[in-house]
Structure 1
C-alpha cells in the first residue's frame, strides 16, 4: 500500500493484530491504548506509541478503531477526539456496535466533514496480525473506496455491503451464531461428562465428524485444556454482542429465544467473575454470583 499515516486506537487482541498487519503493509502507524502495557508489543513491532488518543490522531489520514463497546466509541470518538479530526479524515470503525449506533455515528461525523467506514471483521487475533481477516465494509461509497487500501491490508477478503448499518448487522448475526454454537458444544461436553465420558473422547470424535468446523474446533481447544486465557473472544464481549443483537431484534418486533437462553448463560459467566476468559468458558460449571469458579 502507499505510505499512509494511520492511527490505531484500541490494542486488544484484534486491534494489536491489525496494527501489525498495517505495519507489515508499509503504513506509518501511531497507536494508543488506555492501558499502556498493551501498547508495548505494538511499539516493539514498529508503531509509534502515543500518550493519548488526541496525540495519536494528530496528522493521521485514517483512524482505525478497535474498541470494546458503544460506550468506549462514544467516549473516544465524540469525547476525547471532539474537534480533533480534520475534514477528510477517514474513520474505519471495526468495533462491534448496533446498526442504530452506526448510523447515528456516521451522521455525527459527517457534520464535521469526517468520513466513517464501518468494517465488520471476521477472524481471530492471529489472523488479524497476518492480514488474513475477512472484512465486510459499509458506508458511503466515497468513504469505502478511499479506505480500500487499509481494508485490504488487514483482510484477505474485502466486500462492500452498501449502506451504513449493514456491516454492523452482519457482525452481530455472526457473533450470535458463534455464541449459541459455542454454548451447544459446551453443553455437549457437560452432558458427556455427566454420563461418565471424558471430554477428550467427545472432542476427539467431534474433530473427526461432520460437526467439525474451524470455529468450533478452535473453541474445542480451549475446552480440551480447560485453559481459557489468553482469550480470543472474551466472554464479557460475547455477552455484550448477544445483548446488542437481542436489543436490535426486539426493537423491530422480532424475538430471539435461543439468544435469550445464551444471554442467561453468559450472564452467569460474568456473575462468576470469569468475563475476561474466552467465551468457551461456558463448558465449565460456574456458580451464580458466588465469585470465580475454582
Structure 2
C-alpha cells in the first residue's frame, strides 16, 4: 500500500492501543496519534509512523480509525483538530462509545464537507483488541462498511451490521448497561456476604462454579477476589459515562432506566473517590460516600 493509502489511527487508550497494534501486526502501513505521546512509543517500535498532531495523522489517509474516550474528545479532536485536514471521500471509522443522537449528528456534520463516517462499536477488552478477537457492531452507509471490511475483519472475530447510524451506539450502550448493572450487583452481593461475616473468597468460588456465572462475571470476580483492579479492562470513569449516556438517551425517549441510574451513581461515586482509572470492579471495595 502506498503512502497516500496509509491507514490512520487516532486515540491510543487501552482499546485503541490494542486495535492499533493488531492492525500493525497484520501489516497495515499505519500512522498513529495520541495526545499523550508516550502511548505511541510501542507503535513506533512496531513500525508505525507517529504523527505530531491529529491533523498530520489524517491528511493522507484513506481510512481513519477513531478510538476516543467520550463525546467531548470526539468534538475536540475530530471537529476541532482534524476536520480541516480530512480530504473529501475519506472514511472515518468511529469506534468511540457515544450517544446515538450525537453519533448521528457527527455523521451529518462530516457529510457536509464530503467526509464519510460509519459506526464500528466494539465489544471486548484490550487483550481481545490486540488479538483481533473483538465483536463489532457496524452502522451507517453500507458502502462505507464494505470499504472498511478488511480493517474490521482484522480487528474482529464477528462483524454485525445493525442498521442506520446510531443503531450501533444504541446496541453498545445496551451491552454496557448490562455489564454495568452486573458489576454493581456483584459489588453489592460481596458487601452483603461480608456484612454477615462470611469471606468473599468462599462466596466468589461458589458463584463462579454456578449457573449464575459467565466469562465476564468470572473475570470480574477474579479481580474482586484478588482486590486487584489494575490494569483496568474497563475503566470506572468510562463505565459511569456510558451508563449515564444510556439513562439520558432513555429519558429522552420516555423510558426510565431506574436500576441503571442507580448503578451509574455508584460508579460516579468511585470516580469522585479517585478510582476513575481503575477497573469498574473496584466498586466492590467499601468506601465512605464522597460529597
Shared fold (TM-score greater than 0.5)? yes
3-state DSSP class of the match of 1:81? helix
Map residues 1-294 of structure 1 onto 2, 5 A cutoff.
5-289=6-290
Displacement of 1:207: 1.4
Contact 2:34-2:40 at 8 Å conserved across structures:
yes
3-state DSSP class of the match of 2:89? coil
Contact 1:2-1:26 at 8 Å conserved across structures:
no
Measured against aligned partners, the alpha-carbon deviations of 1:82-136 in whole angstroms (never above 9, x if no partner) come to 2110011110000000110011000111111111010110000000001110011
3-state DSSP class of the match of 1:209? coil
Displacement of 1:180: 0.2
Measured against aligned partners, the alpha-carbon deviations of 1:204-243 in whole angstroms (never above 9, x if no partner) come to 1111110111111111121111111111111000000000
Displacement of 1:24: 1.9
Contact 1:32-1:39 at 8 Å conserved across structures:
yes
TM-score (norm 1): 0.96
Measured against aligned partners, the alpha-carbon deviations of 1:155-205 in whole angstroms (never above 9, x if no partner) come to 010111121000000000000000000011111111111111111111111
3-state DSSP class of the match of 1:159? strand
3-state DSSP class of the match of 2:248? helix
Displacement of 1:58: 2.2
Which structure shows the higher helix fraction? 2
Task: Give the number of equivalent residue pairs.
Answer: 290
Q: Distance in 1 between the 2:101 and 2:277 partners?
A: 27
Q: Distance in 2 between the 1:224 and 1:96 partners?
A: 29
Can you give the 5+ residue segments of structure 2 that lack an aligned partner in the other structure?
none
Q: Distance in 1 between the 2:22 and 2:83 partners?
A: 28
3-state DSSP class of the match of 1:64? strand
Displacement of 1:2: 11
Measured against aligned partners, the alpha-carbon deviations of 1:15-35 in whole angstroms (never above 9, x if no partner) come to 001001111222111111101
3-state DSSP class of the match of 2:184? helix
Displacement of 1:42: 2.0
Q: Distance in 1 between the 2:43 and 2:14 partners?
A: 11
Q: Distance in 2 between the 1:205 and 1:288 partners?
A: 30
Give runs of ≥4 in structure 1 deviating > 2 Å: 1-4, 287-290
Displacement of 1:257: 0.4
Q: Distance in 2 between the 1:181 and 1:112 partners?
A: 42
Displacement of 1:288: 2.3
Q: Distance in 1 between the 2:6 and 2:152 partners?
A: 14
User: What is the RMSD of the two structures over their aligned residues, measured on CA atoms?
Assistant: 1.5
TM-score (norm 2): 0.97
In the superposition, relative to structure 1, how do residues 2 and 164 fare at CA in structure 2: closer, same or farther (>3 Å)?
Answer: farther
